[in-house]
Amino acid sequence: MNTNTTDTVKQTLFVDGRELPINGERNVLEMARKAGIDIPTFCYHSELSVYGACRLCLVEIEGRGIQASCSVAPEPGMRLRTNTKKVRDIRKISIELLLANHDMTCPTCSRSATCRLRELAERMGIDKVRYKPIERKAPLDHSSLALVRDPNKCVLCGDCVRACHELQGVGAIDFAFRGADSAVLPAFNQDLAEVECVNCGLCASVCPTGALTPRPEMEEVWADLDNPNKIVVAQMAPAVRVGLGEYFGMEPGSITTGQAVAALKAIGFDKVYDTSFAADMTVLEEGEEFLDRFKNQGVLPLFTSCCPAWVKYAEQYHHELLPHLSSCKSPQQMFGAVARKVLPKVMDMKGKELVVVSVMPCTAKKYEAKQEKFIHDGVPEVNHVITTAELGLMLRQCGLQLADLEPAAFDKHISFKTGAGVLFGVTGGVTEAVLRYAVEQVQGKPLEDVDFREVRGEKGLREATVTVDGIELRLAIVNGLAQAAAVIESIKNGTCAYHLVEVMACPGGCVAGAGQPHTFNPAARQMRTRAIYDNDKMLDYQKSQDNPELIKCYADHFDGVGGHTAHETLHTEYTHRKRLHEIDIALQEGESKGTLPIQVCVGTNCFLNGSQDLLKKLMHHVDQQGLTDQVSITATFCMENCGKSPNVRVGATHLEACTFEAACRSLEEQLGSKAL
């Protein structure tokens, strides 16, 4: 019998005997998790490329044997088993080998409670390690103001490397060496503070062990709380209220504002304030800045400046972009400046010193607070920054359980906030808050609908257009610094159509900052985000310009929004910042005795413009002229003058777009006729 019917292959496969439909999953690991089977893995993250390094996600596929489930695409009819004896034995050996090469000081590790290696060792039933541990121990890197790097706890999963490269486009850390010497290191094995790290902490967020962790400041805070000569106040960021509960076992997104305030007062803080107040202030200052630039053909697009990791990224890689950044301080620093101006007038200080402590979901805020431009006459605007997780640990040290505390209210004067200020905790929130102000200013009448849902979402780069009285406002919302590259490129080539661009370093915004409680729950970020929007609706006001406490603060202490006093107190400046501190590589044999140094930059741009050939010619010239006892030549990274390469220094003289002849002339001038 002949028919025209074409048989179609059933789009299903079998996981441990269960038939499952294939619906676009990219690998069999996702198929197994779809079946409710948690296959262990270190190196798999849905937002990162598939890497297959840890070899823990092994499954046994009929006809193929043992395979890494993260790197095998699902196929119709495939049959796989996730828990055979062979699979269990290999996983157990892998964990034991990792433990043999791991610093086993678990009780003192800050990530002990959420360490993936510890959890998997327990899950695999490992009660002893059959392999000899390594003897060498690498030093810890405490150089960064934001992070601590402990190479002894690294399991070489590569999560931090891919996150830094793929999501942030920075590449501050990478793999080095081979075989047993393999390691994850900053460039040239420098300290983390000496390379192009932007302090975002995304590496710490994805690290499954304690190899990368936020740098703690709890001891400094305890010392000030114990000092009777100091009045210690806290400010709490919007994202903290939807993250702190997770530290105590609550559902992600649980709003714990009142309990968090009560907890801070219980451990000794004299006053507790809401950073959302300063976020409302940021909306007014940034909104006026935007409207002024828009009306008067100023520099556009205007980039937001709330995220210190983004600001450092711009200062390092795109200093030509700095005029586009809003001059507004971040809400953290704005609050610190306002607190120092307002609180001594409304509190009975009696000669006591005011200490401002920030509770933040972010590691980059630690770095931001320590910058010299935010320290005046030796007094920082913000003294200490602790993360959400650090606050949770401090509460546990005091024996406090968040859920058992009676909610308390923020203190008056600089705490009242609107929903717009709370929205700063999510990606798109700053843009929506500014729109609630700017659109109303342009229309000249109150907004009927304050929600701008077109700017919401989680996509790395989102675009939206808002039309106000026939005027189009074109917007871009970026989360994850690698996504900012496309916007920046459009500015450079003159095709940028945006008026306002919001950038946050952390995917999802501050709710997913590296200072939040560590979680392996993929839905946690969405639940925290939803809670922020719910909190917006729970408040009496949703627009920053309606904040009565803010209006009074401007009247009592400033000369109006955007005025001279406000600008002096609430705004800042930016500078070109080095990506990598200069590293000299000696090229002459033996110890150089030369007193005149010649440095040739061999960074990427200089290299592409001939610095390597120039270096060879100069070395040959110095040798031929018998000047090796007078001149020392080194290759260096980086002089941060990439647009005028190759760069050479002869003594203290910097030569841009240097030629061999120009270098020799400078050498002759400084040494005399012997140079030629």
Over range 405-427, report the average pLDDT.
96
- Helix locations, 513-599, DSSP H: 524-538, 548-557, 564-570
The CA–CA distances, whole Å, from 93 to 69, 121, 129 equal 18, 10, 9
Ramachandran sector of residue 171 (left: φ over 0; alpha: ψ -120 to 50; beta: rest)? left
Q: pLDDT at position 6, please?
A: 39
Over range 407-423, report the average pLDDT.
96
Do residues 187 and 500 touch, judged by C-beta distance below 8 A? no
Domain 94-215 has CATH 3.40.30.10: no
> Nearest-CA neighbor of 657 among 599, 596, 610, 617?
610
> Nearest-CA neighbor of 47 among 458, 661, 466?
458
Q: pLDDT at position 588, please?
A: 55
Query: Which segments within 259-363 are labelled E, that is strand?
Result: 271-274, 302-303, 353-360
| H helix or E strand, kind and range, residue 66 | strand 65-68
DSSP string, 170-191: ---EEEES-GGG-EEEEGGG--
CA–CA gap between residue 191 and residue 172 (Å, rounded): 10
The CA–CA distances, whole Å, from 403 to 51, 250, 527 equal 40, 9, 19
CA–CA gap between residue 505 and residue 517 (Å, rounded): 18
Is the predicted pLDDT of residue 674 greater than 70, yes or no? no
Burial of 357 per CB tally in 10 Å (0-12, 13-18, 19+): buried
Q: How many CB atoms lie within 10 A of CB 520?
A: 11
CA–CA gap between residue 189 and residue 181 (Å, rounded): 13
Q: pLDDT at position 238, please?
A: 97
CATH architecture of 219-570: 3-Layer(aba) Sandwich (3.40)
CA–CA gap between residue 130 and residue 100 (Å, rounded): 8
Q: What angle do CA 225, 227, 233 make, to 5 degrees?
A: 40
Radius of gyration of the chain (CA): 28
- Compare 603 and 518 and report the one with higher pLDDT: 518
CA–CA gap between residue 544 and residue 546 (Å, rounded): 5
Task: Give the least confident one: 14-23, 591-600, 639-648.
Answer: 591-600
Is the predicted pLDDT of residue 591 greater than 70, yes or no? no
- Compare 482 and 587 and report the one with higher pLDDT: 482
Whether a cis peptide bond, with omega within 30° of 0, leads into 638 is yes
- Compare 612 and 504 and report the one with higher pLDDT: 504
First to last CA, the chain: 96
142's CB contacts (< 8 A; 6+ apart) are 148, 215
CA–CA gap between residue 503 and residue 324 (Å, rounded): 12
Q: pLDDT at position 313, please?
A: 95
CA–CA gap between residue 235 and residue 564 (Å, rounded): 25
Whether a cis peptide bond, with omega within 30° of 0, leads into 646 is yes
CA–CA gap between residue 339 and residue 376 (Å, rounded): 14
Over range 644-660, report the average pLDDT.
91
The CA–CA distances, whole Å, from 392 to 108, 264, 543 equal 16, 10, 31
What's the CATH fold of domain 12-83? Ubiquitin-like (UB roll) (3.10.20)
Mind listing the pLDDT tens digit for each residue in 273-330? 999 999 999 999 999 999 999 999 999 999 999 999 999 999 998 988 999 999 999 9
Mind listing the pLDDT tens digit for each residue in 231-285? 999 999 999 999 999 999 999 999 999 999 999 999 999 999 999 999 999 999 9
pLDDT category of residue 519 using cuts at 50, 70 and 90:
confident
pLDDT category of residue 8 using cuts at 50, 70 and 90:
low
Mind listing the pLDDT tens digit for each residue in 64-104? 999 999 999 999 999 999 999 999 999 999 999 999 888 88
Burial of 312 per CB tally in 10 Å (0-12, 13-18, 19+): buried
Q: Are strands 147-149 and 212-214 parallel, antiparallel or unpaired?
A: antiparallel
The CA–CA distances, whole Å, from 124 to 116, 117, 281 equal 12, 10, 52
Q: pLDDT at position 55, please?
A: 84
Query: Which segments within 318-425 are labelled E, that is strand?
Result: 353-360, 375-376, 379-380, 384-387
653's CB contacts (< 8 A; 6+ apart) are 666, 670
What single letter denotes the amino acid at residue 137? K
Q: pLDDT at position 134, please?
A: 75
Determine the distance from the C-alpha atom of residue 201 to the mean position of all C-alpha atoms in its chain, rounded to a whole number: 4
pTM, two decimals, is 0.86
- Compare 610 and 422 and report the one with higher pLDDT: 422
Is the predicted pLDDT of residue 15 greater than 60, yes or no? yes
pLDDT category of residue 47 using cuts at 50, 70 and 90:
confident
pLDDT category of residue 641 using cuts at 50, 70 and 90:
confident
Mind listing the pLDDT tens digit for each residue in 457-467? 999 999 999 99
- Name the packing angle between helices 388-397 and 218-225 (round to 10°): 50
Mean pLDDT, the chain, as a whole number?
91
Over range 525-531, report the average pLDDT.
97
Sequence spans of domains, the chain: 12-83, 94-215, 219-570, 583-675
Over range 532-539, report the average pLDDT.
96
pLDDT category of residue 7 using cuts at 50, 70 and 90:
very low
What single letter denotes the amino acid at residue 98? L
Determine the distance from the C-alpha atom of residue 400 to the mean position of all C-alpha atoms in its chain, rounded to a whole number: 30
Over range 213-241, report the average pLDDT.
97
CA–CA gap between residue 52 and residue 563 (Å, rounded): 56
Phi, then psi, of 476 in degrees rounded to 5? -135, 135
> Nearest-CA neighbor of 213 among 149, 154, 160?
149
Residue for token digits 């290299």? 607
Is the predicted pLDDT of residue 5 greater than 50, yes or no? no
Over range 167-180, report the average pLDDT.
92
CATH number of this structure's domain 583-675, picked from the four choices 3.40.50.11900, 3.40.30.10, 3.40.190.10, 3.40.50.720: 3.40.30.10
Do the two domains 12-83 and 583-675 of this chain adopt the same fold?
Answer: no
Q: pLDDT at position 257, please?
A: 97
